[in-house]
Amino acid sequence: MQLQEHYHKLYQDSIRCIQADAYQIDELIDAASDNRFGITLLLRPDDVVKGEIQKLLSKLKLIEPNQYFYRDSDLHVTVMSIISCYNGFGLGQIRVEDYIKTVRKSIHGLGPFEVEFKGLTASPSCLMVQGFLADDTLSQLRDNLRSNFRDSGLEQSIDKRYSIQTAHSTVVRFKEKLKNKDEFLKVVEKHRDHSFGISTVNTIELVYNDWYQRKEYVKTLCKFEL
């Protein structure tokens, strides 16, 4: 399935869920007891793209101020979830140097690439900005990571939940019942094909993170130049 088609189907199915009040509310966002941590390789949109995303979020906040909106510092695209977040995971359980070495091996020979952020899609629990790729660099990087981590013997959970194919950035999560659902969805639909800009990815980051990639919990383990 092509990426555009995948995003479209996800959008249609999820909007139906939201319209039918069958969406999922994340009850752990504000939970002090949430102890889910993991390791992620990610990229970050540039400041222009972030600015465009925040313009959209400002409109949505006026309608649904009590939902969870991602800050500039937390916006990201997951390149690969190396260790998916789980309760009680800590850096003391692994040798970080081995993970850095495996990522470095995986990016060898790969250069910068572009991500076009255009339009919105959704899931039953969140709203996402769609990302599109000009070439297969990200796909090649992901394949390298799968192969190299599989052969490494290191703790990892790559593709355990699902095989990542997209380049989306989550921007809103539902943390309570939507009070102005129809108005909220009108703004979403209006931005269905909105252009947020194109980012050239020169750097990717290996981070230790919580489920929401909040800056106060994220620890950068290494930055890699492409």
- What pLDDT does residue 158 have? 87
25/174 Cα distance (integer angstroms): 5
Per-residue pLDDT band for 1 (boundaries 50, 70, 90) equals: low
- What pLDDT does residue 195 have? 98
Q: What is the pLDDT of residues 122-132, one digit of tens each?
A: 999 999 999 99
Return the domain boundaries, the chain: 3-225
Q: What is the pLDDT of residues 92-102, one digit of tens each?
A: 999 999 999 99
96/94 Cα distance (integer angstroms): 6
pTM of the model: 0.95
> Residue 162 pLDDT > 60, yes or no?
no
Q: What is the pLDDT of residues 103-144, one digit of tens each?
A: 999 999 999 999 999 999 999 999 999 999 999 999 999 999
- Domain 3-225, second-level architecture: Alpha-Beta Complex (3.90)
Amino acid at 78: T
Token pair of 200, please?
Answer: 């050239």
53/130 Cα distance (integer angstroms): 11
158/114 Cα distance (integer angstroms): 23
Q: What is the pLDDT of residues 177-186, one digit of tens each?
A: 999 999 999 9
150/71 Cα distance (integer angstroms): 34
15/63 Cα distance (integer angstroms): 17
